[in-house]
Amino acid sequence: MFIARNGEKYILYRDGKPFTVKGAAGFTDLRKLHEAGGNTIRTWDTLHLGSILDSAYANNIAVIAGFPMPVSNFLPYYKDRSKVSMQYAAFRDIVNRYKSHPALLMWCLGNEVDFPSRPRYNAFYSAYRRLVKMIHAEDPDHPVTTALINVNRRCIYNIRFKVPDLDLISFNIFGALKEIEKDLKDFAWFWDGPFLITEWGINGPWESEFTAWGAPIENTSTKKAEQYRELYEQFMPVQHPRYLGSCIFYWGRKQEVTHTWFSLFTEEGAQSETVDVMQYLWTGKWPGSKAPMLKYMLLAGRGARDNIMFRPNTLQSAEVLFQGTPGDSLRIHWEILEEDWYTKNKYETNTQKPAVFDSLLLSFGAHTAAFRSPAKEGPYRIFATVYDNNGHFASTNTPFYVVGQ
């Protein structure tokens, strides 16, 4: 694997042939990724890397393998020589163990670690440069990158001056994807190297609309699929001469404010409409069957932007409205959860789905549910997940607040 330059154009070569990353951030559901036309995954750490590489190879998928690193401002770590030495030895063992695996595409040294300017961060840069040189020395056949938040000029300045041995720069970019062409053009006078987009997607919870009590408002899976397509077709810089590819976020299922915000699959393996969209974008062909399509959810006739508040222990109703005429085979799974506001610190949010209040769900119609509002004051959400008989799902949820007596 190597990156070549031909005039203004950069080309990533894999097995001697030009290779454009049509990828996904995640490490599961690889058969479905291949069937949808994807060819690459991106991981954030080396946990189970051997089995991930084996599974990827079996599904004709390449792997961008991530090395987890503490953020640069965690100075007690980088000033501790014993910890830095242990990290170096551990990473070197990983490189030597997997550098010959046929699924490996490149290494990603750190995810959003930040690259600051001040001299107080010299210990971080010393450790980071040493790791880059080690990876190149032990494995000259695979490029090394790192993932930044957006096209961050300060970080790129410092990478150019302080970590010049990186082969390319990667970006995790969501709402700012709409500005990437302009950002690249405005900064080309200083940096004109190759780039990957290692995470892209719809606006995250941090970029959304909010209720009056600060709960982010999540779109339906149908609206998200529309946004993914719009982002890719209108703003993904696929024709840019320095573009090497991109990875959609998130190919799998995860809790990030909700268990549905970024999840393209359910725990049972059902896939969302966004997977259908990505198949179309990667291959030009739609799948034979598509996911159910939703308009929105109403609680007592109101939507999420109406700042819905209930009294405790009161009878309420929810309704899912569909685009088109829903088939008889559709089934809806309802859940009521507390709002997930837990964070260990600003870098570590909750990764576990909150407990479900099943006992509050009272009765169900074809597209409706009756429920009792919780007795405890606070923020909640009601979720509806719609399944068909073809392995698809659609999802929607609405936040509400219970006001105490």
Cβ 308 vs Cβ 401: under 8 Å: yes
Among 291, 292, 290, 294, smallest CA distance to 322 is for 294
* Cα of 334 vs its chain's centroid, Å: 25
pLDDT given at position 327: 64
**pLDDT per position in the chain (405 positions), as tens?**
899 998 889 999 999 999 999 999 999 999 999 999 999 999 999 999 999 999 999 999 999 999 999 999 999 999 999 999 999 999 999 999 999 999 999 999 999 999 999 999 999 999 999 999 999 999 999 999 999 999 999 999 999 999 999 999 999 999 899 999 999 999 999 999 999 999 999 998 988 999 999 999 999 999 999 999 999 999 999 999 999 999 999 999 999 999 999 999 999 999 999 999 999 999 999 998 889 999 999 999 999 999 999 999 999 999 999 987 666 688 999 999 999 976 655 556 677 888 888 889 999 988 999 999 999 999 999 999 999 999 999 999 999 999 986
Locus of tokens 């070549």? 4
Query: How are the residues of the chain apportioned to helix, strand and coil, as percentages rounded to the nearest 5?
Result: 30, 30, 40
In the chain, the domains with their CATH numbers are 2-283 (3.20.20.80), 294-402 (2.60.40.10)
Residue 26 backbone zone (phi > 0: left; psi -120 to 50: alpha; other: beta): left
Give the 3-state secondary structure of residue 148: strand
pLDDT of residue 80: 95
pLDDT score for 73 = 92
Pairing status of strand 393-402 against strand 378-387: antiparallel
pLDDT at residue 352 in the model? 83
Beta-bridged to residue 134, according to DSSP, are: none
What is each CA distance from 176 to 22, 44, 145, 151, 218, in whole angstroms? 20, 21, 20, 9, 18
- H-helix or E-strand containing 89? helix 81-98
- Output 50-54 pairs: Cβ under 8 A, ≥24 positions apart: 50/97, 50/98, 52/27, 53/98, 53/101, 53/103, 53/104, 54/103
pLDDT at 342: 62
Q: 48 is written with which tokens?
A: 């189970």
For 405, the token pair is 């007596």
> pTM of the predicted model, to two decimals?
0.92
Give the three-class secondary structure for 97: helix
Structure tokens, 176: 């700012």
Judging by DSSP bridges, how do beta strands 104-111 and 17-18 pair with one another?
unpaired
Short-list 297, 276, 298, CA closest to 288: 276
List 320's β-bridge partners, or say none: 297
* Contact residues for 239 (Cβ-Cβ < 8 A; gap 6+): none
Q: Which residues pair with 385 in a beta bridge?
A: 333, 395
Query: What pLDDT is attached to residue 266?
Result: 94
Contacts of 147 (CB under 8 A, 6+ apart): 66, 108, 110, 111, 112, 170, 171, 172, 198, 199
Are the C-beta atoms of 139 and 97 separated by less than 8 Å? no
- Cβ neighbour number for residue 51 with a 10 Å cutoff: 10
